[in-house]
Amino acid sequence: MCKQRAPLFHEDQTSDTLMAECTLREAMEYARTAHTSDAAERGEAAVLYMNGWDVFEAMPHLWHESMDKLPGSTTPLTLPEWRRLHATIGSGETDEEVLTKKARGLCKLFVGPVGAITRIHQDNSNAHAWLCNIRGRKLYVLCRPSDSDKVAPNRAASKAHGTVYGSRLDPLDPAMQRRAREGGLELFATVLEPGQTILAPDGWWHYAVSLTPTITLMNNFWDGANLFGLHDMFYDNLSRVVDANNRESGKAPRVAAAEDAPVTTHDPPVLYRVVHAPWVYVRSEPSTVAPVLGVLRPQSKAHCVVAIGLQKDGWLRTAEPFDKGVHGWMLAHGGAVGLAKLLMVPEKALQEAQSMNADERRRLTEQMQLQQQQQQQQQRELQQQLVR
């Protein structure tokens, strides 16, 4: 699939983004010659980019496990960790073909004509990426993770309006370049020559534009520094499978908030810590059959604390957008779907603990242990369900 915009963001209207499905041969031919057309010379031609073709899904025999690591510089953990995670949940997923399929899918091929652009972005799931230019020359621009507010300054405001990263940096736009310089944003730029590889570590913003027709191979990977991102991805997938199974088997109760339920606004939003194990679903509306926007885990680094703005019936509305910038709902009490304690206000929990006497503390500890046992039991049941 060749697209006019890469990557596609939530705010992109797919209806006005040109896309073309073609063979690899056609994409190569287009990339090689697109800039020579009359329309391109007049600056009127749209530029389509084959960005992220799942090449090893189509040709698995060409993939090799060594692609999971950057020679000499990192310990490959993606595939071993993926194997280990499957083993811990006892999914029975030991088939190498199934396991390597995941790793193969992390390696993608890009074929672009002159002017093909990947807009500035961070990779998903805290992945590192290596990008190897097989053919052609490509300009890459990178920015530090700590400069996120300068790269996409109105992220928070635009999120609240349902769009994400509205005015993200275009490194080739002179006005934006000037603003970036004035704001002290440091841009790291390099032209990648054929055969060269660039590394974009976890969280680093990156932008690419083809200066000549290009072929690039990209691989997302994890090591000791960002492994939690792989775990998040794994548990996110797993929980969605369990959720889908529950719905199909009719196990998920059809809970919906009453239309006239009271709504309370908290301004500023109250911060909660996710304490439920193994995960909490954030849904697009207050109903257990509504689509899942995101999954929260207590251990997850990125989404451990959530801000809640509204309360409706037994549901809490998230004040911060989830996943693709949409607000969501979480079941507050959880009784109906067997969720134990779901969320805890960290400040309140802390105050409570400090003002407690020894007896109270012992009672609470016992209560927590019991709760933990119940949660472990629940997790075991979920695993069994998954195996079935």
Q: Which residues of this protein are in contact with Fe ion, per CB under 5 A?
A: 123
Q: Which residue's CB is nearer to ligand AKG, number 204 or number 228?
A: 204
Cβ distance 310 to 272 under 8 Å?
no
CB of 112 to ligand AKG, least distance (A): 7
Q: Which residue's CB is nearer to Fe ion, number 122 or number 163?
A: 122
Cβ distance 31 to 111 under 8 Å?
yes
Q: Which residue's CB is nearer to Fe ion, number 106 or number 293?
A: 106
Q: Which residue's CB is nearer to Fe ion, number 123 or number 147?
A: 123
Cβ distance 145 to 226 under 8 Å?
no
CB of 70 to ligand AKG, least distance (A): 15
The interface partner of residue 281, options being ligand AKG, Fe ion, none and the CB cut-off 5 to 8 Å by kind, is: none
The interface partner of residue 230, options being Fe ion, ligand AKG, none and the CB cut-off 5 to 8 Å by kind, is: none
The interface partner of residue 269, options being Fe ion, ligand AKG, none and the CB cut-off 5 to 8 Å by kind, is: none
CB of 230 to ligand AKG, least distance (A): 16
CB of 282 to Fe ion, least distance (A): 25
The interface partner of residue 208, options being Fe ion, ligand AKG, none and the CB cut-off 5 to 8 Å by kind, is: ligand AKG
CB of 206 to ligand AKG, least distance (A): 5
Q: Which residue's CB is nearer to Fe ion, number 121 or number 135?
A: 121
Cβ distance 231 to 299 under 8 Å?
yes
Binding residues for ligand AKG, rule: CB under 6 A, are 7, 51-52, 110, 118, 123, 131, 206, 208, 216, 218
CB of 367 to ligand AKG, least distance (A): 46
Q: Which residue's CB is nearer to ligand AKG, number 208 or number 257?
A: 208
**Residue nearest ligand AKG, Cβ-based:** 118
